[in-house]
Amino acid sequence: MSKYTQSEAVTVSQIVQAKAAGKKISSITCYDAAFARLIEQTGVDLVLVGDSLGNVMLGYDNTLPVTMDDMVHHTAAVTRILRRPFVCADMPFLSYNVSVEQALTNAGRLVQEAGAQAVKVEGGASVAPQVKALVQAGIPVMGHLGLTPQSVHAMGGYRVQGRGADAAKRMMDDALTLQEAGIFSLVLEMVPAELAGRITEALKIPTIGIGAGPKCDGQIIVLHDILGFDEEFNPKFLKKYANLGKVVRDAVSTYDQEVKAGSFPSAEHSFKD
Ligand code: KIV
C-alpha cells in the first residue's frame, strides 16, 4: 500500500511548472514491481519505463528488438505499484515511425492496457506529426534528442551528438519543433553540456539530461546503472551510487556455499511439529 494519497501524485503540469519554479526534476528508469516498490518510497518525480529494458532486463545488445508487448508487460508491472511518481513509457523501435495512426494505436495501448500517463518518442522534426496527434488525443509526450539508441546503426554507435555548429543547430531546431508540436519535456542524451544549456534556455518546457551536463532542468538515469549491477559499464556520465553487482554475487555465493555445506537451513529456518 502506498504511503502517498492520490492527491500527492505528480502531474504533467507540475513537471512543466517545475522549470519556471527553478525546481530540478529527478527521474529514473524502472521495469518491474520489485524496484517500483522501492522507488515509490523515494522523492523521484518521474519514472520512465524505458526501452532500455531490452539491454537491462531482456539481455539484448540494443533496444531494437523490444516490442510493444514487452513495453506493455513491463509498464503494467510498474504502474500496478507506483502511485506518486509520474509514469512515462517508451514507444519502442518502429512502433510510431510508420504513421500517425500506428503511433496513436500503440500509444493508446501503453495508456489503456498498461496504465502509462505519458509516452516517449525518439527523434526530431520527422516525428512532429505523431507528437501533435498524440497530444491532441490527450496523451502527454516526452521527446528525446541527442543520442537516440533506436538509431544506433545510423549513428554508427553510442556517441556524443550535437558536436559542431551544424549538428548543434539541427538539434536546437528539432527541440523547438518538438516543443511547437506539444511535447511536455525533452530528454537530451549524450549532448555537450554547453549545447544542452543553450537548448534548456531556449525552451519553455523542461529538458531532462542524461550525459548532458548540469544545466538541464532535470536528470534521468538507468536505475541498474547507478546501482552498479554491471561492473564493466562505466561511461563518463555515470555515477554509481551503490555496488549491487558485488552485493548480489556475494549473497548468492554465500547461499550456494551454505547449501552445499549443509549449514542452511539451520534449526532457525526450519518448522517444528
Ligand atoms: O530507454 C531509456 O532508458 C531511455 C533513457 C536513458 C532516457 O530512453
Identify the pLDDT of residue 164.
Answer: 97
C-beta neighbour count of 42 within 10 angstroms: 11
Owner of C-alpha cell 537530451: 188
Query: Which residues make beta-bridge pairs with 62?
Result: none
Which among 31, 51, 122, 221 is the best mutation to test ligand 1's pocket, defined by most ligand atoms within 8 Å of the CB?
51
The whole-model pTM stands at 0.96
Residue 106 in 3-state DSSP? Answer: helix
Task: Write out the H or E segment, with its range, that includes residue 231.
Answer: none
Q: Measured from the CB, is residue 29 less than 6 Å from ligand 1?
A: yes
Q: Measured from the CB, is residue 45 less than 6 Å from ligand 1?
A: no
Q: Measured from the CB, is residue 52 less than 6 Å from ligand 1?
A: yes
Looking at the domain 6-226, which fold is it? TIM Barrel (3.20.20)
Atom of ligand 1 nearest to the CA of 63: 1
Q: Of 157, 158, 234, 163, whose CA–CA distance to 192 is shortest?
A: 163
- Tens of pLDDT, residues 206-229: 999 999 999 999 999 999 999 999
Ligand 1: centre distance to CA 144 (Å): 9
Residue 273 in 3-state DSSP? Answer: coil
CA 230 – CA 225 distance, rounded (Å):
7
- Tens of pLDDT, residues 47-83: 999 999 999 999 999 999 999 999 999 999 999 999 9
Which among 26, 44, 47, 52 is the best mutation to test ligand 1's pocket, defined by most ligand atoms within 8 Å of the CB?
52
DSSP letter (8 states) at residue 214: T
CA 162 – CA 170 distance, rounded (Å):
8
CA 122 – CA 143 distance, rounded (Å):
6
DSSP letter (8 states) at residue 123: B
- Tens of pLDDT, residues 87-132: 999 999 999 999 999 999 999 999 999 999 999 999 999 999 999 9
Query: Whose Cα sits closest to atom 2 in ligand 1?
Result: 50
CA 187 – CA 148 distance, rounded (Å):
10
Q: Measured from the CB, is residue 210 less than 6 Å from ligand 1?
A: yes
Q: Measured from the CB, is residue 54 less than 6 Å from ligand 1?
A: no
CA 197 – CA 85 distance, rounded (Å):
26
DSSP letter (8 states) at residue 97: S
Packing angle, helices 128-136 and 165-181, rounded to 10? 20
Query: Whose Cα sits closest to atom 1 in ligand 1?
Result: 50
Identify the pLDDT of residue 46.
Answer: 98
Q: How confident is the model at residue 1 (pLDDT cuts 50, 70, 90)?
A: very low
Break the chain into its structural domains and give their ranges. 6-226
Q: How confident is the model at residue 5 (pLDDT cuts 50, 70, 90)?
A: low
- Tens of pLDDT, residues 160-194: 999 999 999 999 999 999 999 999 999 999 999 99
Ligand 1: centre distance to CA 254 (Å): 34
- Tens of pLDDT, residues 120-131: 999 999 999 999
Q: Give one DSSP letter per residue of 242-264, joined into a string.
A: --HHHHHHHHHHHHHHHHHHT-S
Ligand 1: centre distance to CA 58 (Å): 15
CA 72 – CA 51 distance, rounded (Å):
11
Q: Degrees (nearest 5) of the Cα angle 85, 89, 90?
A: 140
Instruction: Count Cα neighbours of 112 within 13 Å in the Cβ-side half-sphere.
Output: 9
- Answer whether residue 33 shows pLDDT above 80: yes
Query: Whose Cα sits closest to atom 3 in ligand 1?
Result: 50
The residues assigned a catalytic role are 189
Identify the pLDDT of residue 4.
Answer: 57
Which among 28, 29, 185 is the best mutation to test ligand 1's pocket, defined by most ligand atoms within 8 Å of the CB?
29
CA 111 – CA 9 distance, rounded (Å):
17
Atom of ligand 1 nearest to the CA of 56: 3
CA 169 – CA 76 distance, rounded (Å):
38
Q: Of 54, 80, 82, whose CA–CA distance to 68 is shortest?
A: 54
